[in-house]
Chains A and B, each alone.
Chain A
Amino acid sequence: QQQVKQSPQSLIVQKGGISIINCAYENTAFDYFPWYQQFPGKGPALLIAIRPDVSEKKEGRFTISFNKSAKQFSLHIMDSQPGDSATYFCAASIGGGADGLTFGKGTHLIIQP
């Protein structure tokens, strides 16, 4: 049972464009929704996270939009740069991840110069 569904699987965006990655979850007990960025050969690193009491969180060029009623959340990367090329994972958890994170399958993002 896949509790967090992520799309698209891969994404190509031109430099300066907006990259959008979507996730949907099933478990309404989830209360923490992070996005992780992973470069080849490295471990994932936290990019930005949101809790369900807000509908949007912005950090620099990265924004999470959260729709609690639809059980969906998305990552927007504004002014995408070649250095943003990486794999992005959405995740969800209960209690801040105390018993681990449930990850989506990932999105391989390529920013073309």
Chain B
Amino acid sequence: NAGVTQTPKFRILKIGQSMTLQCTQDMNHNYMYWYRQDPGMGLKLIYYSVGAGITDKGEVPNGYNVSRSTTEDFPLRLELAAPSQTSVYFCASSYLGTSISYEQYFGPGTRLTVT
């Protein structure tokens, strides 16, 4: 199993550009999440999904959009990139159901710089 994979690893965007951060998991997890990590600030939830076709906002959703057409994929879309979106973005997944483990598995992250 590859676990949670994210692409790209690094990206530099100009202000106003758009891009999609890709996230794929091969663990058949039903829940998926996007977090951003800023220095000294911990991780903050952007969006999450409880299954294909269902998404919901987290703590910091402004400037982002998500979709979940399959169980495996959960892309994050940035429209009109702003310097405030410079951050490291982590995708995570978990299985919530009959399992007693609530562990969220994180991908390696995408480091995004907006200039």
Contacts and interface: CB of A to CB of B under 8 A. Distances in A.
A103 B104 CA distance: 13
B interface: dominant SS: strand
B100 to A, nearest CB: 9
Contacts of A42: 108-109
B74 to A, nearest CB: 13
A34 B102 contact: yes
Q: How extensive is the interface on chain A, given as a class?
A: 20 to 34
Given A96-B102, A97-B102, A100-B33, A43 B40 contact: no
Interface in A12-58: 32, 34, 36, 41-46, 49
Nearest to A31: B102
B36 to A, nearest CB: 11
A22 to B, nearest CB: 15
B68 to A, nearest CB: 15
A9 B39 CA distance: 12
B8 to A, nearest CB: 14
Contacts of A45: 106
B48 A9 contact: no
A26 to B, nearest CB: 14
B106 A105 contact: no
Interface of A: 6, 9, 32, 34, 36, 41-46, 49, 89, 93, 95-106
Q: Considering the complex of A and B, which 5 residue pairs feature the smallest CB-CB distances, nearest first?
A: A43-B106, A96-B102, A100-B45, A103-B42, A105-B42
